């Protein structure tokens, strides 16, 4: 029989055990942090009816989506976690309590061109707060605090959450008589970090047909910088000329005011008028988070306020605010930058038991006691030479190896070797357990990400 050459498709990630443990550790931190803020876990199907996923889809979504027929069913793989959430809330709204706060970490699929750091199958980590009819502005101020806590717990320090409000932008463009083109202008301005102001000016005057004066006004407006208070003070000079602008400025001032109470330091948060987010469904506060020492990475967490994401599924008004972390891409980039902490344990077990007797009962009983004490334990029963067993322990990176022979069983003790220091002790079970616990606690110190 001819053998099939094993391969992983382009744009799909498969990790070896050690980096998979690093990724799982990151996801565990995200889950615990989101739970601190009262978010409930949610899982939605990977496959949905195409009409559900494409209800608000445009040309790009149509091009990127994985779509297929199964019998008479027209199906597609989800391309984000937000659209399935909108369907979920519209479908189950009568059984949910609002505001509904959920987090979801799951794989999504986009059939775009695979390239370095860009995948066709990747994890997203999302949180959203959905209101029934209304959603208080305080929720939009809480989101940056969750971003701050999440990245701080991961080990990042030099990052900045950049915030703006789409109403401010829409109101400003209305002052210039450009309301009908505001969406196209925002999508163009959103490219500023990637292509620079000169090319943005060229797109505004070329593709969009704006006058040089209008393009200049836009570039000067989004170039307003300084401390958060200085930017807000500058924006006050525009107040009174457009109601939408005024509403957006009031919302932005409220978000900034509450941030200190939520525990977000000024150095990790900035009002940035260049932030627009290209998606049309954002209606208020928008967020982008960048690593200050690695601007080439781009945004590692983005999102914003939307007023009616579920409009294609229900007449019920369901406003919300949320953020998304492209977890697979972030993990890949952090690995490339050498920012994943190599000192944290990545072994599948804390203890490897090597029985030195033909009778396995004592070793099995010991493994049961260790697991009952919360110690991840693997029992190695393969009939191999001692050197091969120790090579196995080295290869999986297990921190402790326990030897159990006739002498240890008779004396009621446990022989335990620290695989890092090389120190070996022969002690009663309780003392060995204490030693293992203390050693594991020391090994767990430190963060997943190092800067």
Residue 451 CA to residue 445 CA, distance in Å, equals 15
| Confidence at 279, pLDDT banded by 50, 70, 90 | low
User: What are 237-263's pLDDT values in tens digits?
Assistant: 999 999 999 999 999 999 999 988 999
Inform me whether the pLDDT recorded for 59 exceeds 80: no
Which contiguous run of DSSP H or E holds residue 123?
Answer: strand 121-130
Crossing angle of helices 182-189 and 212-222, rounded to 10°: 60
Q: Which of 215-224, 275-284, 379-388, 400-409 has the weakest average pLDDT?
A: 275-284
* Residue 93 CB burial class (10 angstroms; 0-12, 13-18, ≥19): middle
Smallest CA-to-CA distance from 20 within 288, 358, 294, 348 is with 348
Averaged over 414-431, what is the pLDDT? 96
Contact predicate 63/283, CB 8 Å: no
- For residues 328 and 349, give the distance between their C-alpha atoms in angstroms, rounded to a whole number: 24
Cβ contact 364:334 at 8 Å: no
Tell me how crowded residue 119 is: count the other CB atoms within 10 A of its CB: 22
The pLDDT value given to residue 135? 96
Confidence class of residue 310 from pLDDT cuts 50, 70 and 90? confident
Residue 285 contacts residue 249 (beta carbons within 8 Å)? no
Distance CA 84, CA 96 (A): 16
Concatenated DSSP letters for 253-303?
HHHHHHHTTTT--GGGEEE-TT---S-TTEEEEEEEEEETT-GGG--SEEE
Strands (DSSP E) contained in 299-423 are: 301-306, 320-326, 351-355, 377-379, 400-404, 414-418
* pLDDT bucket at 58, cuts 50 / 70 / 90: low
Higher pLDDT, 49 or 295: 49
Query: Each residue of 342-375: pLDDT tens digit?
Result: 989 999 999 999 999 999 999 999 999 999 999 9
Contact, 399 vs 347, CB < 8 A?
yes
61 in Cβ contact with 35 (< 8 Å): no
Q: Is the pLDDT of residue 282 over 90?
A: no
For residues 223-228, give the mean pLDDT: 91
Average pLDDT, integer, range 220-228: 90
The answer to whether the CB of 157 falls within 8 A of the CB of 148 is no
* Location of structure tokens 């029963």: 381
CA-CA distance, 376 to 139, in Å (whole number)? Answer: 40
Q: For the CA atoms of 31, 37, 39, 40, what is the dihedral angle to 10 degrees?
A: 70
Give me 173's structure tokens: 């463009």
More confident residue, 39 or 114: 39
């Amino acid at each position: 029989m001819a053998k099939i050459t094993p391969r992983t498709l382009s744009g799909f990630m498969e990790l070896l055990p050690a980096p998979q443990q690093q990724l799982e550790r990151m996801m565990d931190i995200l889950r615990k942090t989101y739970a601190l803020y009262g978010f409930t876990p949610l899982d939605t199907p990977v496959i949905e009816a195409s009409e559900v996923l494409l209800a608000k889809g445009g040309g790009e979504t149509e091009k990127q989506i994985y779509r297929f027929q199964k019998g008479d069913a027209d199906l597609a793989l989800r391309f984000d976690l937000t659209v399935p959430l909108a369907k979920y809330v519209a479908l189950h709204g009568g059984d949910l309590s609002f505001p509904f706060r959920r987090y979801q970490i799951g794989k999504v699929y986009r059939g775009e061109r695979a390239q370095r750091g860009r995948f066709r199958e990747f994890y997203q980590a999302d949180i959203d707060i959905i209101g029934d009819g209304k959603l208080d502005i305080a929720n939009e101020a809480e989101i940056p605090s969750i971003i701050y806590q999440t990245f701080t717990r991961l080990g990042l320090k030099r990052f900045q959450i950049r915030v703006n409000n789409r109403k401010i932008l829409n109101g400003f463009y209305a002052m210039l008589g450009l309301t009908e083109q505001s969406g196209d202008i925002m999508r163009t301005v959103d490219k500023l970090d990637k292509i620079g102001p000169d090319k943005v000016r060229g797109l505004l005057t070329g593709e969009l047909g704006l006058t040089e004066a209008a393009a200049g006004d836009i570039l000067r407006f989004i170039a307003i910088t300084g401390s958060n208070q200085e930017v807000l003070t500058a924006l006050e000079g525009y107040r009174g000329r457009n109601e939408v602008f005024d509403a957006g400025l009031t919302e932005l001032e409220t978000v900034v005011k509450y941030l200190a109470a939520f525990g977000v330091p000024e150095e990790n948060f900035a009002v940035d008028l260049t932030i627009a987010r290209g998606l049309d469904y954002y209606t208020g506060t928008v967020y982008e988070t960048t690593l200050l020492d690695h601007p080439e990475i781009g945004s590692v967490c983005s999102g914003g306020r939307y007023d009616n994401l579920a409009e294609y599924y229900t007449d019920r008004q369901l406003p919300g605010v949320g953020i998304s972390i492209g977890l697979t891409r972030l993990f890949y980039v952090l690995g490339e930058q050498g920012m994943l902490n190599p000192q944290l344990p990545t072994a599948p077990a804390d203890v490897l038991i090597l029985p030195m007797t033909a009778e396995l009962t004592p070793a099995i009983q010991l493994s049961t006691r260790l697991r009952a004490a919360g110690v991840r334990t693997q029992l190695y029963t393969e009939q191999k030479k001692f050197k091969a067993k120790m090579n196995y322990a080295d290869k999986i990176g297990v921190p402790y190896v326990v030897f159990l022979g006739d002498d240890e069983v008779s004396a009621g003790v446990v022989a335990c070797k620290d695989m890092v220091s090389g120190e070996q002790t022969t002690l009663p079970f309780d003392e060995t357990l204490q030693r293992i616990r203390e050693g594991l606690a020391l090994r767990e110190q430190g963060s997943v990400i190092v800067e």
